[in-house]
Amino acid sequence: MSASERTQWKSRLGFVLAASGSAIGLGNIVFFGANAYKFGGGAFYVPYLVALFVVGIPMMILEFGIGHRSRVAFPQTLGRMAGRAGEFVGWWALFNAVIITMYYVTILGWVVGMLIGALGPLWEPASPMPNYAMETLPNPQGYFFDTLSSWTVVGFVALVWLANVGICINGARSIESTVKFFVPAMWIMMLALIVRGLTLDGGFDGVMYLFNPDFSAMSGLDVWRGAFSQIFFSLSLGFGVLSVYASYLPKKSDTTSMGLQTALMNCSFEYIAGFAIFSMLFAFAIVPKASTLAMSFFVLPQGIAQLPGGAVTFGVLFFGLLLVAGLSSSVSLVEGLAAAAIDKFRVKRGIVLALLFSVGVLGSMVFALPIVIDSSLAGNGTLGLTLLDLFDHKAFGYGLLLVGLAECIVVGWIFGAQRLIDHVNRHTKFTLGTGYAHLIKFIIPLTITALLVLGFLHECGTLGDPDGDVSYPYGQGLVDPEAIGSTGWSWVADAVPIVWIAFTILGALVMTWLPAARRDDPGDDDA
C-alpha cells in the first residue's frame, strides 16, 4: 500500500468519533467504576482531574500532533523524530499493545458469553460447577465461570477477532462507517442505564457518593497512581494508536481542538458511567469486594437481576454496551499494529490483518486459560488464576507510563517541543505557548518518573505493605495473584515480568533492525 493509498477520514466528526470510540471502552465502565469504588468515590475525582489536565490532555494533543505531522504509523513517526532510537520506542509501545490487545479481546470474548447469557440463563438461580469444590454457584457467578471454563469461549474470542479485522479491512474508511453507529449507540445505551439507575429507590445516594469526597483517602500514593494509570489507559495514551488515527487526517486540521473534544467526551462518559454503576450498587446495597473484573461480570449483574423493568432488557443493554464500547477500542489497537506493519514493509493490508487474526486468536486463547485450578480457590467462588491476571499485575502498571515517558523525551528533548507547538498551532483556535513546552519537557516526565519510582518501591515493600491496595486496572480479576504462592505455580508468576520484558524489547529490536521497504511518501508536513 503506497502512501497515496492511505485512507483518510471523510469528516472531522468521523475522526472525533473514531478517537473517542477508541478512548471510551472497558476502561470507562469496568475499570473506572471499580477504581472509583476502591478509592473512596469522590476521593478519586480530584487526582483523576489533576491527571486529566496535567498529563491526559497534553499527551493527547502530543499524540494527535505528531501523527498528523508525519502522516505515518507510530514507530515511523518517532523514527523520523529521533532516528532508530525513536523507532525502537514506537515498536516497543506496539509490542506492549500486542499483549494488551490480546487480553482485551479475551475479556470481550467473555462479554459475548455474558451477552448471550443475559438472554436467559444468567438470571436462573444457580449454575452447576461439577469440577470444582463448590458444586453450585449462584448466578451470575456460576454462569460466568461455566462460560470461562468451556471451549465456547474460544469461539467467542475468535468471533471478536474476526469483527476487529473486519472493521479494519479498509482502514479509516471502514472504521469511520462503524463508529458512526457504535459511538451514538453506546451513549444511548449508557443513558438508558443511567435513567434506570437514578430512578431506583436509593439510586441517587450512589451518585452522591461520587460527589462526596473523602479527602483523607487522597493522601495515599495509590490513589494517585491509580488515577494516572486510569487516565492513560482510558484516553488510549501510550499505545501510539491515537497518533495513527491522526495520521489519517487531512493536512489542515485543528488537532488541538479535536484533542480537547476527544478527552472531554471520554471523561464525561466515564463520569456518568459512574452514575449508572453506583446508583445500582447503592439501591441494592451490594458491596463489591474490590475485584475489578468481578464488579462488572457478577457484582453489578446481581443488581441488574433485581431491576424492575426486566433483567433481560437491562442485562442485554449492559453487556451490549460493553461489547460495542470495547470493540471500538480494540479496533484502534488492531489498526495501530496493522498500520505500523503496512507502513514499514509496504505489505497488503489483507495479509497483515490475516496474520494479526491468527496470532491474535492464539494469544487471546492463552490469556483465557486458567493456569491454576485449585479446588480451595474454586471453593472461594473462583475458577483459577489466568495469565491475564499475572501479565496485568506486573506489566500493565509500568508499560503505559514508561512509553509515555519515552514519548515525552523523544518529542520534548530530541525533536524539540517548540517544533511540535509550531506544527499544531498552524490550524488551531487554541494556540499553545511555552507553558506547553514546559509540560512536555519537565512536568509530565517528572510526574511519570515519580509515579514509576514510588510505585516500584511500593511493590518491593520498601514503602510499606506491598499488597496493600495497589491499583491493577485488570488485575485481581479472578483470584488474588498473591494466592499463587500457595499453589506451586509461583514460578509462572516469577517468569511473567521476564517474558514481558523479553518479548517487548526483543520484538521491538527486531522490528527496528529489519530494513523498511522503500518509501514513496512525501515526508513530514512541516511546510
Question: Per CB under 6 A, does 332 bind ligand PHE?
Answer: yes
In the chain, the N- to C-terminal Cα span, in Å, equals: 25
Smallest gap from residue 236 Cβ to ligand PHE (A): 4
Query: Which residue from 17, 18, 19, 27 is in contact with ligand PHE, where contact means CB under 6 A?
Result: 27
Smallest gap from residue 270 Cβ to ligand PHE (A): 8
* Nearer to ligand PHE (CB atom), residue 164 or residue 382: 164
Binding mask 221-260 for ligand PHE (x = CB under 6 A): ------------xx-x--x-x-------------------
How far apart, in whole angstroms, are the C-alpha atoms of residue 396 and residue 229? 9
Dihedrals φ, ψ of 520, to 5°? -130, 25
Query: Which residue from 17, 18, 23, 478 is in contact with ligand PHE, where contact means CB under 6 A?
Result: 23
Smallest gap from residue 261 Cβ to ligand PHE (A): 16
SS3 371: strand
How far apart, in whole angstroms, are the C-alpha atoms of residue 384 and residue 373? 5
Stretch that binds ligand PHE, among 131-139, 164-172, 326-334, 412-420 (CB under 6 A): 326-334
* Nearer to ligand PHE (CB atom), residue 36 or residue 484: 36
* Nearer to ligand PHE (CB atom), residue 26 or residue 402: 26
Query: Which residue from 14, 15, 16, 22 is in contact with ligand PHE, where contact means CB under 6 A?
Result: 22
How far apart, in whole angstroms, are the C-alpha atoms of residue 354 and residue 351? 5
* Nearer to ligand PHE (CB atom), residue 132 or residue 239: 239
How far apart, in whole angstroms, are the C-alpha atoms of residue 242 and residue 404? 13
Judge whether 120 and 310 are in contact, CB under 8 Å: no
**β strands within 334-436, DSSP E:** 370-372, 385-386
3-state helix, strand, coil split of the chain in percent (to 5) is 75, 0, 25
How far apart, in whole angstroms, are the C-alpha atoms of residue 21 and residue 7? 18
Smallest gap from residue 272 Cβ to ligand PHE (A): 15
Query: Which residue from 127, 292, 329, 382 is in contact with ligand PHE, where contact means CB under 6 A?
Result: 329
Residue 485: how many CB atoms within 10 A of its CB? Answer: 10
How many chain residues bind ligand PHE (CB under 6 A)? 14
Residues in the chain: 527
Nearest to 318 by CA among 307, 330, 333, 328: 307
**β strands within 155-306, DSSP E:** none
* Nearer to ligand PHE (CB atom), residue 25 or residue 445: 25
* Nearer to ligand PHE (CB atom), residue 147 or residue 236: 236
* Nearer to ligand PHE (CB atom), residue 87 or residue 335: 335
* Residue numbers at the binding site for ligand PHE (CB under 6 A): 22-23, 25-28, 233-234, 236, 239, 241, 329, 332-333
